[in-house]
């Protein structure tokens, strides 16, 4: 029993050391840091490792922010936060220890969404993120969902949010997929209504705003080296999905080639198993070559 306990402690310490080294890389590259924390948190959800790290190093901003993100990842799977006040406190402690880091605030934004907080509170957190990382991908997508009719906003707020972003965003910013994500979310909302609307949902992609958003993405994203942010392949998955939904198979083929075999859960999971949906859709794109 003592040997097993010693082995468990040693394994935990090794994992903590590896996570610490990873999060210390590329200081100031908030896009990479956000991506790494997000991936780690998804992997660690339901495990003891992030809590163990905080217990060992209670004044480590890396440990605190990873623990907060892990709690959020677990809450998304369960539908609720186990300890909202505790998660908020963890975010604020991380923010105090690393005042220049946007990731504690991005986690806090996720908490605010899960807790259905008022827009005044959410926008307060949002402004803290923008002050630290103007084009944070995770934050923009989180706000996009928060402002949707399914959460705390409306279709009009979504359009205003996307229009304001498009007017000033660099063409290859990490949050470049926000506009296309908004169109995919609206497309899914049409499908969810069922009936006749769902049968003609493809018409969504021929409407001006959706077609223009898809045109802009298709024209640039798959060019070699154009997208350089950490989740570029996730954005190319979105583009491949949207092009196929619009029946633009010829354009989709080159995007599938750029993606290779890397499959993201969203948006493919809306049709079932993501890998199966991806493979079947990719095969459709190659038909008629």
Q: What architecture (CATH level 2) is domain 1-133?
A: Alpha Horseshoe (1.25)
Burial 81-90 (b: 16+ CB within 10 A, else e): beeeeebbeb
Section 169-183 average pLDDT: 97
Average pLDDT over residues 138-142: 98
Q: Which two tokens stand for residue 274?
A: 């993501």
In this predicted structure, the answer to whether residue 288 has a pLDDT above a threshold of 90 is no
What would the mean pLDDT of 272-285 be, rounded to a whole number?
95
Put simply, whether the predicted model's pTM sits higher than 0.85 gets the answer yes
Distance of CA 156 to the CA centre of its chain: 22
Dihedral-angle region of residue 247 (phi above 0 means left; psi in -120 to 50 means alpha; beta otherwise): left
Residue entry with tokens 């928060």 = 146
Distances (CA, A) of 147 to 30, 139, 141, 159, 277: 24, 12, 10, 10, 28
Is the separation of the CB atoms in 76 and 111 below 8 Å?
no
- pLDDT beyond 90 at 188: yes
pLDDT at position 1 over 60: no
Written as one string, the DSSP assignment of 13-77 is HHHHHHHHHHHHSSTT-HHHHHHHHHHHHHHHTTSSHHHHHHHH-TT-HHHHHHHHHHHHHHHHH
Distance, CA of 229 to CA of 136 (rounded, Å):
10
**CA-to-CA distance for 250 and 286, rounded, in angstroms?**
8
Radius of gyration of the chain (CA): 20
| Residue-range domain boundaries for the chain | 1-133, 178-289
Q: Is the pLDDT of residue 2 over 60?
A: no
Residues sharing a CB contact under 8 Å with residue 248, sequence separation 6 or more, in sequence order:
214, 218
Say if residues 183 and 210 touch (Cβ distance below 8 Å). Answer: yes
Mean of per-residue pLDDT scores for the chain: 93
pLDDT bin (cut points 50, 70, 90) of residue 10 is: low
Q: What are phi and psi of 230, to 5 degrees?
A: -60, -35
How many Å apart are CA 62 and CA 69, to the nearest integer? 11
| Residue 64 C-beta-side C-alpha neighbours within 13 Å | 23
């Amino acid at each position: 029993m003592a040997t097993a306990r010693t082995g468990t402690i040693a394994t935990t310490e090794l994992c903590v050391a590896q996570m610490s080294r990873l999060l210390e890389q590329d200081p100031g590259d908030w896009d990479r840091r956000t991506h790494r924390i997000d991936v780690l948190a998804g992997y660690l959800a339901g495990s003891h490792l992030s809590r163990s790290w905080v217990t060992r190093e209670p004044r480590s901003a890396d440990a605190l922010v990873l623990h907060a993100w892990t709690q959020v990842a677990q809450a998304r799977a369960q539908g609720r936060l186990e300890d909202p006040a505790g998660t908020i406190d963890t975010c604020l402690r991380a923010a105090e220890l690393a005042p220049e880091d946007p990731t504690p605030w991005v986690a806090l934004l996720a908490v605010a969404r899960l807790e259905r907080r008022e827009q005044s509170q959410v926008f307060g957190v949002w402004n803290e993120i923008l002050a630290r990382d103007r084009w944070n991908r995770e934050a923009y997508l989180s706000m996009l969902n928060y402002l949707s009719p399914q959460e705390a906003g409306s279709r009009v707020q979504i359009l205003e949010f996307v229009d304001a972003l498009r007017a000033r965003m660099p063409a290859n910013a990490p949050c470049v997929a926000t506009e296309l994500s908004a169109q995919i979310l609206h497309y899914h909302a049409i499908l969810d209504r069922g009936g006749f609307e769902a049968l003609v949902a493809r018409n969504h992609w021929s409407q001006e705003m959706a077609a223009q958003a898809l045109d802009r993405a298709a024209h640039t994203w798959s060019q070699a080296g154009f997208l350089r942010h950490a989740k570029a392949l996730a954005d190319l998955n979105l583009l491949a999905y949207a092009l196929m939904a619009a029946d633009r198979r010829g354009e989709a083929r080159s995007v599938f080639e750029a993606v290779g075999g890397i499959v993201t859960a969203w948006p493919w999971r809306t049709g079932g198993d993501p890998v199966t949906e991806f493979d079947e859709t990719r095969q459709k794109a190659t038909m008629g070559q």
